[in-house]
Amino acid sequence: MRLASLLGLPSFAAALVGAASFKDCQHKVKESIHDPPRGWYKHAPAPKHHVLELKIALPQPKFPELEQHLWEVSDPNHTRYGAHLSKEEADALMAPHPETLDIVSQWLASYGLAEEDLIRPSANDWVTIHVPVSLAEEMLNTTYHVYKNFKTGESIVRTTSYSLPEILHEHVDLIQPTTMFARFKAFKTTLHWANQAQALVSNSSGGMITGPAGNQVDASCNKTVTISCLRQLYNAVDYNTSATNCNRLAVTGYLGQIANDMDLQQFYQLQNPLAYGSNYTFVAIHGGANNQSYEAAGLEANLDTQVAFGLSWPTPGTFYSTGGEPPFIPDTPGSDNTNEPYTNWLHHVLSQDTLPQSISTSYGDDEQTVPYTYATRVCAGMATLGARGVSVVFSSGDGGVGDGDSNPATQQCFSNDGRNVTKFMPTFPASCPYVTAVGGTANVPETAVNFSGGGFSDYFHRPAYQDAAVSKYLAKLAPGTYEGLFNPMGRAYPDVAAQARNFATVYRGSTVSTAGTSCAAPTFIAFISMLNDARITAGKSPLGFLNPFLYSRGYAGLNDITKGQNPGCGTDGFNATVGWDPITGHGTPNFEKLKHLVLTMP
């Protein structure tokens, strides 16, 4: 799949215009949406003095070349497998044409913005500016409003359409925040929230269950999932990682989610005593906070760090805290907007010379709330990470085939294109073909958990690496099944799965039970980090983008999940079955089998 239609070379027939003449140029609509997504309503005009952080994406004419590198270095059957790009090589392939840089700078200068007012990442493919609403409205020939969410009460400043001088259209891919209403919430369900402070005093029920690898798993793992349970279930009890081979693992945090260090140490005492006293590297991005009071602790951040770092210790861990905390309160001076979190994070990490080899994110939203232009650009950034040798995983969501609401009775499954037709709701960024999406399972023996997000993208075509597996699944569906509710030619997800219910997590000094594909993503990435550890120790490259391996060879090292459904939108959803399915993908990890597979590859 290529994004060339969005990222192609501009034609430079038109001469650059003088700075003063931009305001006299005829504006043409660059992007618009029919209405705000269901659940949002126009509340009031945006305060003219409110400062917007506008991000301007410039075309990447060499992206098709970067994408070709990605396919080659990620395909275990290709001679270039593992020959990942350096930061400098990736930057060169992400860079806009010099004439694009010139004309966009002239346009900004015509509104009084000097070069020192512009923030650019190392590849120069984005420009960030801070301007009041009044100036943004003039530049974009639009009117901003405060929109409120019926369900959450959140407020954001957005518009439903914006325009640019015609000469700029081929030099600008998108500008946000404008038409984007995604909330990018953490993927966790509260269905199983309960105080289980005594659950970890003794985690032995005296009984054992046979796990998918044929090994014995403590029967208590059917009630409470711990680090020990996951290592037993996924066949990695005896594997010890290194702290000195340059392998690193990272998890991300957004929207004010803070990982509490005291909670982490308590978790280590209970579940991995050898790790007690160790810590991770904290990286603040765009004002990411690190308030270590119990009151500031975030359940999502605690879950991600405890599971990922608890499983992979002593591999060095990194927690990225990216700023931007909702809700926006329009009447409070200095309050911020809920801006798009992934661009700030991507700009930071792609500007680094070295990166963690494995990164997990447990956030997302309905694909249709994300403008297509924005989704493709963020997805291109994920492709760049893969080309640089990073394995990137995302939770698949917690709404089954629905809109992210874990309660099927309250889901709103309608298109926001003005037609208001009933349809399944794919999740982004899980639907990006350059990331590995992780669905959820429960119990031993494992079955698909009913809230596991899965389905087919409306934005991205099915990539070649999954053609065979997905076609086999679709062929099993009865003719006409859910016809019109999903796009059978879209990128299908999830790719894999892991446990997603009854996780014992330490939160503000107590042990609570959490659930959601937020549990599954850090679990899966920890086992990928162990595989990277094994390859690096053996003198091999890290795995990088996982999907070409998973669909060509890696599925042989996964436990196929064949039972369960993911209901939503008034339907029973899809069913788990033999082979790939849109609930659990190819299944859950069998570490020893996967280790054998990755060590026999170049």
Q: Which amino acid makes up residue 175?
A: I
Distance between CA atoms of 208 and 192, rounded to whole angstroms?
24
Question: According to the 3-state scheme, what is the secondary structure of 202-255?
Answer: CCCCCCEEECCCCCEEEHHHHCCECHHHHHHHCCCCCCCCCCCCCCCEEEEECC
Cis bond before residue 121 (omega within 30° of 0): no
Decide if 300 is catalytic: yes
Distance between CA atoms of 309 and 316, rounded to whole angstroms?
8
3-state SS class at 568: strand
Burial of 87 per CB tally in 10 Å (0-12, 13-18, 19+): middle
Percentage helix, strand, coil for the chain under 3-state DSSP, each rounded to 5: 30, 25, 45
Residue tagged 């945090």 (tokens): 253
- Which residues are CB-contacts of 137 (< 8 A; sequence separation ≥ 6)? 143, 144
Active-site residue identified among 67, 304, 366, 446: 304
Distance between CA atoms of 139 and 145, rounded to whole angstroms?
16
- Please give the annotated binding residues, written as ranges: 560-561, 579, 581
Residue 86's CB: how many other CB atoms inside 10 A? Answer: 12
For residue 311, how far is the Cα from the chain centroid? 21
- Do residues 195 and 506 make contact, with C-beta atoms less than 8 angstroms apart? no
- Please give the annotated binding residues for Ca(2+), written as ranges: 560-561, 579, 581
Sign of CA dihedral 287, 255, 459, 526: positive
Decide if 467 is catalytic: no
Active-site residue identified among 74, 518, 529, 533: 518
Secondary element (H or E) of residue 594: helix 591-599
Phi-psi region of 391 (alpha: psi -120 to 50; beta: other; left: phi over 0): beta
Spatial CA neighbour of 373 closest among 27, 29, 14: 29
- Do residues 351 and 384 make contact, with C-beta atoms less than 8 angstroms apart? no
Burial of 204 per CB tally in 10 Å (0-12, 13-18, 19+): exposed
- Which residues are CB-contacts of 413 (< 8 A; sequence separation ≥ 6)? 402, 403, 422, 423, 424, 425, 568, 569, 570
Decide if 304 is catalytic: yes
- Which residues are CB-contacts of 184 (< 8 A; sequence separation ≥ 6)? 254, 255, 338, 340, 341, 342, 363, 364, 365
- Do residues 569 and 413 make contact, with C-beta atoms less than 8 angstroms apart? yes
Distance between CA atoms of 601 and 531, rounded to whole angstroms?
12
Active-site residue identified among 300, 398, 495, 533: 300
Instruction: List active site positions.
Output: 300, 304, 518
